[in-house]
Structure 1
Amino acid sequence: MNHSLSNIINARLQGRDGLYRISIGNGRFSDISAQTGFDDAGEGDLDAGGNLVAPPFVEPHIHLDAAMTAGEPRWNKSGTLFEGIECWAERKVTLTREDVIERAERTLALFADHGIQYVRTHVDVTDPRLTALKAMLEVRERVADTVDLQIVAFPQEGIWSFRNGKELMEESVRMGVDVVGGIPHFEFTRDYGVESVRWLVELAHKNDRLVDVHCDEIDDPESRFLEVLAAEALRLDYGSRVTASHTCAMGSYNDAYCSRLFRLLRKSGLRFLSMPTESLHLQGRFDGYPKRRGLTRVPELLDAGLKVAFGQDSIRDPWYPLGNGNMLRTLDVGLHGCHMLGMSWIERSLELITDNGAAAMDLKEYGIAEGMPARCVVLQGQSPYEVLLGQQPVLASVRDGRVLVSRQGQGTATPH
């Protein structure tokens, strides 16, 4: 059984010196006060032991309907995005409600063990039966006590390029998805891609849904759907509710084009998601040497004042055969791949797996502040640098004042 807390003591908070007592009442943070030294734990106290306490980790981009299917019915031998889509199309026809629910809940349990309490999952709706979507809508309710789950209607095989693609997207919105997705670079033509972006943003806007588009997940420098997405978001004043995922082609754009593009991006206020482990694996497959990294311009976007977060994208599926649910691993790879190991980047790096992901998910109540829901994780380390060095499992995960997971040192997790 989960048990409730009254206080988290001996806590360090990012950007503040010293130790803090974080008091909890009615499932919310009621008071945050400085301590003069280490306090002894009493009944109802969680001792952070001088470690950093942070908001829960956010997984803003995952495909739970495909999780744990690597090698089924065959392995992606080329390692390309497009063979992965072909493998998934073969696996998709065998989906059942029970199959999707079992794999999704197994993956979410893995996430919870690593301190993830917010998840956005893309669900393939290019399936006339909508089997995965129906199952994931059920999962969203089943896991509500441990995770906030957003569902994206994701047209894996296109909107204009898949028979009845528009109708399936509209039906998905009627069924209750939180987010409208797209994949313009996979549509048959550029015109189809442009039309799909304009249509999906309008669909989301009129139905009060968020937007998250697989945008330019390709090395082709001529794939420029990001400008279309940003222009539509700006036209509708919807930028804070629109996310551009991947934008890998930005790593291949020339600087003259980017100088114009960034002006539009700043005006639009789009959110950005980069999936470093998967992009490093999938992109650059058609290059000789030198090979491109296939990552978007993360530090440049951050310097422009835009919100960028990292996601895992896949957990053992046709696109990516690895994955363990540890966001610190994803953060580590992303910082390496984006040349962000300067100490100034490291010190603010946790925002890439916390606050910026929360912004992409448009979360209204998130963070460690008085009055906010009492949701947080206790990390192993006194600073972001120490946390990143160790990449150890969270010591505790707290949700609405209840302890979901706790550990002693680096031992085995103990669910409550």
Structure 2
Amino acid sequence: MTKTLNAIVNARLAGKEGLHSLTINNGLFTEIQPQTSPVSATDHELDACENLVTSPFVEPHIHLDATLTAGEPRWNESGTLFEGIECWSERKALLSESDVTSRATQTLKLLAAHGVQYVRTHVDTTDPQLTALKAMVKVREQTANFIDLQIVAFPQEGIWSFPNGRELMEEAVRIGADVIGGIPHFEFTRDYGAESVRWLVELAHKNDLLVDVHCDEIDDPESRFLEVLAAEALRLDYGTRVTASHTCAMGSYNDAYCSRLFRLLKKSNIRFLSMPTESLHLQGRFDSYPKRRGITRVPELLDAGLKVAFGQDSIRDPWYPMGNGNMLRTLDVGLHACHMLGMNRIERCLELITDNGAAALNLKNYGIAPGQPARCAVLQGQNAYEVLLGQHPVLASVRDGNVLVQRAAVNPEADLLIT
């Protein structure tokens, strides 16, 4: 039975000293007050036990239509993006509405158990029946009590390079997609890729939708569709509604080109998503040594004042056989891969799986403040450093004043049998 709260007490908040209480009324935060000392929680209060309370985690980039299909019909033995697409093309032919609905719902419950309340999923539109997209629209409705779900119309095999690719994207909009996607580096030619980017941004702009493009997910330093995407966003003054996912090729760009590129990126103010665990697995497959690892320039983008968030991308699918829904695992890997373990980075690292993801999803009612929906996660640790060290599942997840998840704290030392 769901527990409804009127307050969270003994909470630590990022950027604030000491303990605080968060008053909740009608599903909204109404007041945030400092506490002089810990207090006992009543029946309708949640005791944060002096742990850090943050906004809910955001999973900004995942493929729910493909989750939990690893090894079906075969394993991706090369570990490349391209064999993954081939495997998925074979599995896609076996899709049914019940198959997609069951796996997507199971995955969303897994994410919710880890404190995620906002998810953006890319759904393949290179299926003439649009089976997965139609199923995901129903999943979005059925899971709305615990997840806010955005659906990206994602042309896995291209827009220009797939038969009726444009028509299928337009149909996806009519069915109910929230976001327009693309994959220009997978189109047959450079011209096709650039044309597809311009077309998809116009489609989104015309329909007042968001944009999220798989952009330059390749080690090739000549793959430069990011500049096309940013230029289109700037032209239409649409930057805060446009996201570039992956941008792996940026890790291979020369610094002279990046200097010019960053001028455009800052002017456009587009958002960036990096999927560190998957990029480390898929990229660098065509290198001998030294091997590139395919991670975009995360610290440089952040230092330029741009919003960057981490996502998981896949959970046990043809591209990535691992994944457990824990955003703290993704965060930890990303910080290691991007050389971001300086304390100045760690102190703000949770923004990469909360606020910056919310910016990419263009969320309007997000954050712990009076008047905002009472949605938050109670983490295990008093600050970001302690949370990252433990990487324990969230102690609680609260949505509109109702407790979705609550579990006991983990204390590994208590299980030690030797003294």
Q: Aligning the two structures, in what range does the TM-score lie when normalised by the shorter sequence? A: over 0.9
Deviations 1:174-216 (A, max 9, x none): 1110000000000000000000000000000000000000000
After TM superposition, list the pairs within 5 Å mapping 1:166-181 onto structure 2. 166-181=166-181
After TM superposition, list the pairs within 5 Å mapping 1:159-238 onto structure 2. 159-238=159-238
Letter in 1 for 2:257: Y
Deviation at residue 410 of structure 1 after TM alignment: 2.5
Deviation at residue 408 of structure 1 after TM alignment: 1.5
Equivalent residue number for residue 414 of structure 2: none
Are 2:404 and 1:409 aligned?
no
Deviations 1:103-159 (A, max 9, x none): 000000100100000000000000000000000000000000000000000000000
Are 2:113 and 1:117 aligned?
no
Equivalent residue number for residue 19 of structure 1: 19
After TM superposition, list the pairs within 5 Å mapping 1:5-404 onto structure 2. 5-404=5-404
| Distance in structure 2 (CA, Å) of the matches to 1:130 and 1:366 | 32
SS in 1 for 2:392: coil
Deviation at residue 2 of structure 1 after TM alignment: 1.1
Deviations 1:295-334 (A, max 9, x none): 0000000000000000000000000000000000000000
| Distance in structure 2 (CA, Å) of the matches to 1:374 and 1:398 | 7
Sequence identity of aligned pairs in percent? 78
Letter in 1 for 2:203: L
| Distance in structure 2 (CA, Å) of the matches to 1:231 and 1:172 | 25
TM-score normalised over the length of structure 1: 0.98
| Distance in structure 1 (CA, Å) of the matches to 2:3 and 2:123 | 33
| Distance in structure 2 (CA, Å) of the matches to 1:150 and 1:44 | 32
| Distance in structure 2 (CA, Å) of the matches to 1:174 and 1:108 | 24
| Distance in structure 2 (CA, Å) of the matches to 1:363 and 1:41 | 31
Regions of 4+ moved over 2 Å: none
Equivalent residue number for residue 414 of structure 1: none
Letter in 2 for 1:403: V
| Distance in structure 2 (CA, Å) of the matches to 1:315 and 1:110 | 10
Deviation at residue 384 of structure 1 after TM alignment: 0.0
| Distance in structure 1 (CA, Å) of the matches to 2:248 and 2:356 | 19
SS in 2 for 1:29: strand
SS in 2 for 1:192: helix
| Distance in structure 2 (CA, Å) of the matches to 1:293 and 1:80 | 12
SS in 2 for 1:197: helix
SS in 1 for 2:61: strand
Deviation at residue 43 of structure 1 after TM alignment: 2.0
Deviations 1:162-181 (A, max 9, x none): 00000000000111100000
Deviation at residue 283 of structure 1 after TM alignment: 0.2
SS in 2 for 1:120: strand
Deviations 1:366-393 (A, max 9, x none): 0000100000000000000000000000
SS in 2 for 1:314: coil
Letter in 2 for 1:142: Q
Letter in 2 for 1:349: C
| Distance in structure 2 (CA, Å) of the matches to 1:174 and 1:232 | 23
| Distance in structure 2 (CA, Å) of the matches to 1:10 and 1:341 | 29
| Distance in structure 2 (CA, Å) of the matches to 1:176 and 1:45 | 38
Letter in 2 for 1:314: S
| Distance in structure 1 (CA, Å) of the matches to 2:288 and 2:130 | 40
Which consecutive unaligned segments of at least 5 residues does structure 2 have?
412-419
Letter in 2 for 1:125: T
| Distance in structure 2 (CA, Å) of the matches to 1:137 and 1:40 | 43
Which consecutive unaligned segments of at least 5 residues does structure 1 have?
412-416
Letter in 2 for 1:41: A
Deviation at residue 409 of structure 1 after TM alignment: 1.3
SS in 2 for 1:398: strand
Letter in 2 for 1:404: L
| Distance in structure 2 (CA, Å) of the matches to 1:43 and 1:284 | 54
Letter in 1 for 2:69: T
| Distance in structure 1 (CA, Å) of the matches to 2:65 and 2:46 | 36
| Distance in structure 2 (CA, Å) of the matches to 1:404 and 1:176 | 27
| Distance in structure 2 (CA, Å) of the matches to 1:409 and 1:277 | 26
Deviations 1:230-271 (A, max 9, x none): 000000000000000000000000000000000000000000
Deviation at residue 42 of structure 1 after TM alignment: 1.1
